[in-house]
Amino acid sequence: MKVSLQSEITLYPLSIRQDKKHYIVEEPISGDFFELPEIGVDAIKRLEQGEELVSIEHALKTSYPDEEVDIIDFVEQLLELGLVQEVDGVLVKKEQSKSTSRSGGFLWIPHSVGRLFFNGVMNKIYLLLLVANIVILILNPNLFPHYKDIFLFDSMMLNIISYLFISLLLILIHEFGHILAIRSHDLPAKLSIGNRLIFIVFETDLTQAWKLDPKKRNILYLAGLSFEQVILFLSLGAMLLFPDAGIIGILGIIVLDIFIKFIYQCCFYMKTDVYYVVENITGCYNLMENGKIYLNSRTKKRRKDVEINKEMFQGEWNLIRLYSVFYIVGVVLTLILAVLYFVPQLYYTYTTIYLNLLGTGDRAAFWDAIAFLIMTMLMLVLLMYVANKQRHENS
């Protein structure tokens, strides 16, 4: 749709709230959120008041002499974002939003139940449990997870099924923490399935969290980790109090799984819960993207690019450089996890499977190895399906 300086623009009703650095703009009908600088919000308010585009452009150039103002380009961006309702009286066709709607999103969970688990007192308890778990592991190094903790049985099928079941249960508890946290603010959430690296994961859409101020958003992002700290504390406590109990093996898998996922949360080259907290605290909502630009410019050793980026990032320059360090640390942590856990587990698993296929064990071990290989192939097919589906959704 063609826009000129003589065009009359009508926007959808918008909700605007100041954030740390810029403003969060919500289009309530679709539930979409956007971040805009002050000059953009000023332009929107003038459009809502019915000012002409020529007048708006002139006013913005006067009020923001250091900014490059092109009101036509700005309105075209608003069109792309789906914020424009009419141009010259002609209704703009709006694409269906993928955002979470108020008609769904676990609204059957009462607001009071969410508040029971996430309030001022409980949030402090979760923090204390995190400290307690670290102290317990330091004072009891024998409880530190080992890569062989997942091998409870002689049957590799039973081992992998047990681990997958426990891991899936812990993932659901983690995500349910996010759901309860957002329901504590009487907002909807949406649970979906996706993948990170080679892992299939459940993901809670917390888009509606943008209605809240940054401090409250942090509680939502950390809610899953909070629930995990409760489970970890109970597991470690049981292992200390009942070292000879029959469930020690299962508790060991729980500790191993939560430990690995906690380290994984610190890998900032992926958008983990902890990454969103850092992004939220700093108010830099393109931290990963800007960090990649910075690292690429350093890798290519083009000093000119670094200086251009420094100008581009303005006040975020030092923060982006610091994030880049943590980005690299996250990659190193992943490699350490691979060396200490994933590679030894894979080596032990497939060495055992290979020997069983050769007939070094009994007949049951042979068929167990066959079943394990079939299940491995099915998991790879499922992973490729999820990755392909996600790629199509993002395209």
Low-confidence spans in the chain with pLDDT less than 70? 1, 94-104, 194-201, 299-315, 361, 386, 390, 393-395
What pLDDT is recorded for position 201?
66
Question: DSSP assignment of 83-139, as one string?
Answer: -EEEETTEEPP-PPP-SPPTT-SSTTS-HHHHHHHSSHHHHHHHHHHHHHHHHHHHH
Q: How many CA atoms does the CB half-sphere of 366 hold within 13 Å?
A: 7
* Residue that is written with structure tokens 């800007």 in the block: 290
In this prediction the pTM is: 0.80
* Residue that is written with structure tokens 């504390």 in the block: 233
What pLDDT is recorded for position 151?
94
| pLDDT per residue as tens digits for the range 108-118 | 899 999 999 99
* Residue that is written with structure tokens 């943590």 in the block: 326
Neighbours of 215 (CB within 10 A): 9
Q: Are the C-beta atoms of 288 and 275 separated by less than 8 Å?
A: yes
| pLDDT per residue as tens digits for the range 255-298 | 999 999 999 998 888 888 999 999 888 888 878 888 877 777 77
What pLDDT is recorded for position 192?
76
What pLDDT is recorded for position 335?
94
What pLDDT is recorded for position 194?
61
* Residue that is written with structure tokens 């309702």 in the block: 85
Give the single-character DSSP code of 13. Answer: P
